[in-house]
Structure 1
Amino acid sequence: MIDDALLSQLKGIGMSEYEAKVYAILSALRVASAREVHEQTQIPRGRIYETLAALAKNGFIVSSGKSPVRYSPVDVTQTFERLKRESVNSLDGLYQSLKALETETPEPHMQGYKLCTEWTRDNQIRMMLHRAKSEIILLCNDEGFLRKYRSEIARAAKRVPLYLVIGNEELAESAPVKCYTGGNDIRSALFYPKGEDAGGLSVKLVLMADRTESLSILEESGRVTGIFICPDMYAGYLSRKFVQEIVPVKKPRKST
């Protein structure tokens, strides 16, 4: 009986179901006629010859004699060394083709991804803080977020310029890094939206990294959602505007 695991592995290298069965039987018998292969595999007689021909064409078996023609597998070591070389060459060719596409394909359009679970939002925030290479702008007015990512924010600030913009200056006392406040536009549009357009929607956090990607955490009617955009075509413009408008928070002097 042919081992199912062996058949699965043979199909994994590109053989059909019939080819895998025939090759496995010939590997066990070492030499057999088409009729004997048919009897051992129960493959329809009309399919035996085309299956043997396909295996021979692909270099897995050879034939000898005339009446009847007998078939035997090519040396296994020789066969699989050839397969390894062909696989490496094929992968190398695929790699070169894909690299060529990278240089020929225009820059991708802006793409947005909705992050519906706390786990995905949490991981994206941590990854953005970790992978930023030139600048981080973090707008946050939620003390819970600042506590949760305190260590990541502090580590990121040691590597790249980090601007932590808060809507409530009291948060500066517990923030892990230097804080900033924005002008009226930032306060009214992001931290304290008013009017019908707000619709109960509040911004919990906005994170922009390297002026190329952004993550917004929004809450509406108690439901929190994250929107990750990369590449973000507006991140560069907004980042420059924020840096121009924000001012450092002056911590109150301690009384003596």
Structure 2
Amino acid sequence: MIDDSLLSQLKGIGMSEYEAKVYVILSALRVASAREIHEQTKIPRGRIYETLNSLLERGFIVSSGKAPVRYSPVDVTATFERLKRESVASLDGLYERVKTLETETPAPLMQGYKLYTEWTRDNQIRMMLRRAKSEVILLCNDEAFLTRYGSDISRAAKRVVVYLIVGRKELAEFAPVKCYVGGNDMESSLIHPEVGEHIGLSMKLLLLADRRESLSVMEENGKLTAIFISPDIFAGYLSRKFVQEIEPVERSRKRT
């Protein structure tokens, strides 16, 4: 029986399923005809010669004699030393090509990603809360979001500074950590835009992590849209602006 793990490793260096089987059988038998290889591997007769010719061209086996032609593997040490040299040369060439792309293509200042599904949005928010190293600013104007991410916010608050800013003071009753409210600029621009500035979107959540990346969730016609930006060149400015404007909320009652 042919060892499946050995076949898998041979396929890992570029052999097909049939090539790997033939090579293993020949390595074990040392010499065999096409018919004998067919009988051992159960590879269809129509594919045996095609597979043998491929292994011959690639230098894994040699043939000798006539009627019938017999096949045997090339010395294993020589074969694998050759493969090592070819692999290193191939990787060196690939490295040079990729390195050229890296140096010729300027890195973008910002990369933005639209998060199309609820699963993607939830996972990115939770990952941002987990990987934050120093500060999280979370501006939220929706009770459902506070409930949904409450435990994640609580865990983040045990490691880093968390500023949870709510759009309405009454939302503080549903918050897992100390809450803040924003100033007039924040209120009129982000939470409840003035008539002249309203663009048909309402902000549900804005997450700023370590003053370098952001995630915003907005609603339009009942549909949520999320945008993740990293690095966000505006995150530092917004974070400083928010921290300067916010004031703590005094909770009117304890949650039960």
Q: Same fold (TM over 0.5)?
A: yes
Residue matched to 1:54: 57
Cα 1:165–1:97 change in 2 (3 A) is farther
Cα distance in 2, alignment partners of residues 244 and 160 from structure 1: 18
1:156 is aligned to 2:156: yes
1:188 is aligned to 2:188: yes
Residue matched to 1:218: 218
- Aligned residue runs from structure 1 range 222-241, under 5 A: 222-241=222-241
Cα distance in 2, alignment partners of residues 244 and 102 from structure 1: 42
Contact map agreement 1:21 1:41 (CA 8 A) in 2: no
Any idea what SS the aligned residue of 1:137 has? strand
Q: Greater CA deviation, 186-195 or 25-34?
A: 25-34
- Aligned residue runs from structure 1 range 131-146, under 5 A: 131-146=131-146
What one-letter code is carried by the residue in structure 1 that aligns with 2:57? A
In the TM superposition, residue 30 of structure 1 has moved relative to its aligned partner by 2.4
Residue matched to 1:208: 208
Cα 1:250–1:42 change in 2 (3 A) is closer
Cα 1:87–1:215 change in 2 (3 A) is farther
Cα distance in 2, alignment partners of residues 67 and 131 from structure 1: 69
Query: Aligned pairs, how many?
Result: 248
* TM-score, normalised by the number of residues in structure 1: 0.72
Residue matched to 1:169: 169
Q: Greater CA deviation, 208-217 or 115-124?
A: 115-124
1:129 is aligned to 2:129: yes
Any idea what SS the aligned residue of 1:159 has? coil
Q: Greater CA deviation, 203-212 or 139-148?
A: 139-148
Q: Greater CA deviation, 117-126 or 4-13?
A: 4-13
Contact map agreement 2:214 2:228 (CA 8 A) in 1: yes
Cα distance in 1, alignment partners of residues 210 and 87 from structure 2: 37
Any idea what SS the aligned residue of 1:133 has? coil
Residue matched to 2:117: 117
Cα 1:165–1:48 change in 2 (3 A) is closer
Q: Cα RMSD (Å) of the superposition?
A: 4.5
Cα distance in 2, alignment partners of residues 17 and 187 from structure 1: 64
Contact map agreement 2:56 2:62 (CA 8 A) in 1: no
CA distances 1:199-252 after superposition (whole Å, capped 9, x unpaired): 432100000101111111111111111111111121111111111222222445
Gaps of at least 5 residues in structure 1 are none
In the TM superposition, residue 123 of structure 1 has moved relative to its aligned partner by 1.2
Cα distance in 1, alignment partners of residues 202 and 8 from structure 2: 54
* TM-score, normalised by the number of residues in structure 2: 0.72
Q: Greater CA deviation, 185-194 or 131-140?
A: 185-194
What one-letter code is carried by the residue in structure 2 that aligns with 1:121? R
Cα 1:68–1:150 change in 2 (3 A) is closer
Cα distance in 2, alignment partners of residues 91 and 173 from structure 1: 61
Any idea what SS the aligned residue of 1:163 has? strand
Gaps of at least 5 residues in structure 2 are 39-43
Cα distance in 2, alignment partners of residues 192 and 176 from structure 1: 23
